[in-house]
Amino acid sequence: LQWLRNPGPQHEKRTLFGDMVCFLFITPLATISGWLCLRGAVDHLHFSSRLEAVGLIALTVALFTIYLFWTLVSFRYHCRLYNEWRRTNQRVILLIPKSANLPSNQQSLLGLQSLKRNSKETIV
């Protein structure tokens, strides 16, 4: 979620959103199309020519091969972008524990600095 809130390149976020929308639409369509092709192939095997059944089975295999290829390539692309973002956008704050050796005014300054930290930063 931090990556989506980051004011970085909008192109990557638009690509992710577009791929998610396509995935949500294409998955049911591919499933229904594959089921209809296989159902037609079964009907053609029982009542009609085997050549049409083989063609429908080949169409189903091609449909699912293209769908799986697109899904894997898209997933790999977005994982690569996310890993690159994680590598280049690390924010770390080192919190120093309150010590008995420090005067009270220095302890209060350390406390104020930790309260002013940015929400995108990671506490270590």
Give the residue-averaged pLDDT of 31-56.
Answer: 89
Residue 52 domain-assigned (yes or no): yes
CA pair distance 73, 22, nearest whole angstrom: 13
Q: What is the pLDDT at residue 102?
A: 54
Q: Which residues contact 122 (CB under 8 A, 6 or more apart)?
A: 90, 91, 92, 93
Residue 47 domain-assigned (yes or no): yes
Residue 51 domain-assigned (yes or no): yes
Higher pLDDT, 83 or 76: 76
Residue 113 domain-assigned (yes or no): no
Give yes or no for residue 107 having a pLDDT over 60: no
Global pTM exceeds 0.75: no
Q: What is the pLDDT at residue 92?
A: 72
The per-residue pLDDT of the chain, averaged, comes to 79
If one counts the domains in the chain, the total is 1
Q: Which residue has the tokens 């929400």?
A: 119
Residue 35 domain-assigned (yes or no): yes
Residue 109 domain-assigned (yes or no): no
Domain span at 49: 10-89
Give yes or no for residue 116 having a pLDDT over 90: no
Residue 122 domain-assigned (yes or no): no
pLDDT digits (tens, 9 = 90+) for 85-104: 788 877 777 788 776 555 55
